[in-house]
Amino acid sequence: MQSRNLHAKYEFGRFRMHLSPDKIICRTAERTVVCVCVPNSFLASEQRVCGIKGTLDCSKMDITNETTFADMLKVFGVNPSVGDVLIDEGLTPQILVGKFLMKMGKAGFDRCEAFKAEMECIEDKDALDLICIGIRDALDAGLRIQLVTPPEIEKSSRMSGDDMQEFLDKELCGDLKTDLKGVGDKAVRALKAIGCVTTWQLFGWMLTMDTIEAFREGLIDAKVMGSWRCTIVHQCVERMAEGLQVAF
């Protein structure tokens, strides 16, 4: 039930948020979530959705080969000791972001809860909430991960300089065929079979790989059309290096 005394309305793509003195009503095409008893001091930047709460400076974040969990968690406001738990699980900051993106299917805001369920190794649930918010807000601002396209892949890519610049400049929507050159119906079916139904999940899958070559090999194993594999890899690497921005 929507409050009659609204203080503000916010829209983030298909996500609409109505703020009133005593409740927040979040609506998407799929669901309505009502959070009650919210203080009047609530700030829109906090976006208490998916059961998570907190704030983060949304400045653009860079992740390089030298970035440690201590670096990342300090930005997120999390005790760096939590990083030891993640390292014990065989994770890196890059893989952690990849796992988050892998949860970004077509099921709306379920991605946060799905990610938290997979990260059950983190017993501090407040820290886990902040990590979710941190990754989400970093992606919302534009997250850069230092990746380089191997020369042999760039040479085989069908992306011209103008093609690549147009791709880097455009806003991605999450639809594989719309976002990526070289992804047709056959590639969509092949990627769906390995759990990638959105552009975000394909980026996430790439980030969980040890190397860019391993990502290409994964596309071979998935039977993505050979003549376009390098083109797809080229786009994913360059977009991630330029900055991946996801509108939440």
Give the separation between CA 91 and CA 99, rounded to whole angstroms: 10
Considering the domain architecture, whether residues 129 and 169 belong to the same structural domain is answered as no
Classify residue 51: in a domain, yes or no: no
Whether residue 108 lies inside any domain: the answer is yes
Lowest mean pLDDT among 42-56, 127-141, 183-197: 42-56
| Other CB atoms within 10 Å distance of the CB of residue 2 | 11
Question: Quick check: is 207 in a domain?
Answer: yes
Question: How many domains is the chain built from?
Answer: 3
228 in a structural domain: yes
Q: CA torsion angle for 128, 132, 135, 137 (degrees, to 10)?
A: -130
Indicate if 235 and 189 belong to the same structural domain: yes
CATH of the domain at 228: 1.10.150.40
Q: Based on the domain organization, do 68 and 132 belong to the same domain?
A: yes
Confidence (pTM):
0.76
d(Cα 8, Cα 43) in Å, to the nearest integer?
11
Examine residue 53 and state whether it is found in any structural domain, yes or no.
no
* Dihedral sign, Cα of residue 28, residue 31, residue 34, residue 35: negative
pLDDT tens-digit profile of 108-160? Answer: 545 678 899 999 999 999 999 999 989 988 998 899 999 999 999 999 999 99
Summarised one tens digit per residue, pLDDT across range 153-164 is 999 999 999 999
Give per-residue pLDDT as tens, 61-73: 789 888 999 999 9
| End-to-end CA separation in angstroms for the chain | 23
In a domain, 52, yes or no: no
CB atoms inside a 10 Å sphere around CB 170: 11
Tell me the pairing of strands 143-145 and 61-63. parallel
How does pLDDT run across 192-203, given as a tens digit for each residue?
999 999 999 999
Is 247 part of any domain?
A: no
Residues 138 and 187 in one domain: no
- Burial (Cβ within 10 Å: 0-12, 13-18, ≥19) of residue 31: exposed
Residue 50: pLDDT band (50, 70, 90) is: very low
Domain span including residue 102: 61-145
For residue 183, tell me if it sits in a domain: yes
Choose the final residue of a domain: 109, 127, 145.
Answer: 145
In the chain, the largest separation of any two C-alpha atoms, in whole Å, equals 61
